[in-house]
Amino acid sequence: MKKIFILFFSFCFFFSVNADEEIINLIETKLNELGKFELPQSYPEGLINSTLKECEIDNYLCIKTKAIAEMTTRFKRSKKYNDRNPGSQIYAMALYEIYYLSKLKESQNSLRIFKENWPEKIVKGKKISSLIKSNETRKIMRKALGLTIDQSPEEAIKDFWVIGDYLQKGKPKSVKVDKAFKKRERLLSEYKSTIGFLKKRIEKKKINKLYEYLEN
């Protein structure tokens, strides 16, 4: 009985160590993906004219305030509005890059303290968890439009804006579609959704463990 208990305890300890090591490695990866705080040296002309015309290029506080307010407005627009203005949500993604930079700047001290103590001790874990969550959202937006996390915020903002401008030039049209084609399209869409859901569920489970590890 004693041998069984020792064996069971050893297995649990081994599993726990491996689990912690996996989380630690994942956190290291996520920290590297956060990027460095670097202010863009230029912005798309359309962004300046629509949102930042009252801001000097070096007035970060003004740029941040205007951009976040406009981003919030655009993300809250109705489906009907977005159907008529297909570029609006893409412009919002560009503005999210500025929001993320503001959050990264505000978290610099917490990041420094966290890295000084990590991995022996977790300090400022909730702050770092929140920052990683914001970056994960940024990654999803970039990936959706073929942008990589390695691109600088300045590049990403310009790329988002170009795509938004392109979409805004198009006009919505009503097109008649064959019923059989619509059915095949629906079935394919459901299949892709199921596969995507399962994949995201696995990824979400891992990332949620990371958040719990940092916050608790």
Do 120 and 165 lie in one domain? The reply is yes
Is the peptide bond preceding residue 119 cis, with omega within 30 degrees of 0? yes
Domain count, the chain: 3
- Both 147 and 46 in one domain: the answer is yes
Same-domain check for residues 103 and 66: yes
How confident is the model at residue 5, as a pLDDT?
43
Q: Give 135's DSSP letter.
A: H
Full DSSP string of 107-128: THHHHHHHHHHTTTS--SHHHH
Domain match, 17 and 74 both? no
pLDDT given at position 20: 83
Same domain, yes or no: 156 and 100: yes
| One domain for residues 195 and 139 | no
pTM for the full predicted model: 0.79
Q: 152 and 117: one domain?
A: yes
Residue 63 shares a structural domain with residue 23: no
How confident is the prediction along the chain (216 residues), in pLDDT tens digits per residue? 554 444 444 434 443 445 588 999 999 999 999 999 999 999 999 999 999 999 998 999 999 999 999 999 999 999 999 999 999 999 999 999 999 999 999 999 999 999 999 999 999 999 999 999 999 999 999 999 999 999 999 999 999 999 999 999 976 555 455 565 455 556 556 645 654 554 566 577 888 999 999 998
Q: What is the pLDDT of residue 170?
A: 75
Range of the domain at 77: 37-172
How far is Cα 200 from Cα 194, in angstroms, rounded to an integer? 10
Residue 87 in contact with residue 164, Cβ under 8 Å? Answer: yes
pLDDT value at position 205? 82
pLDDT confidence of residue 176: 58
- Of 37, 23, 71, nearest to 206 by C-alpha is 23
What is each CA distance from 6 to 1, 12, 13, 20, in whole angstroms?
9, 10, 10, 21
Residues 94, 153 share a domain: yes
Say yes or no: 53 and 102 in one domain.
yes
CA distance 127 to 107: 7
Q: Do 216 and 150 belong to one domain?
A: no
In terms of domains, do 73 and 116 share one? yes
Of 30, 54, 57, 61, nearest in space to 41 by CA: 57
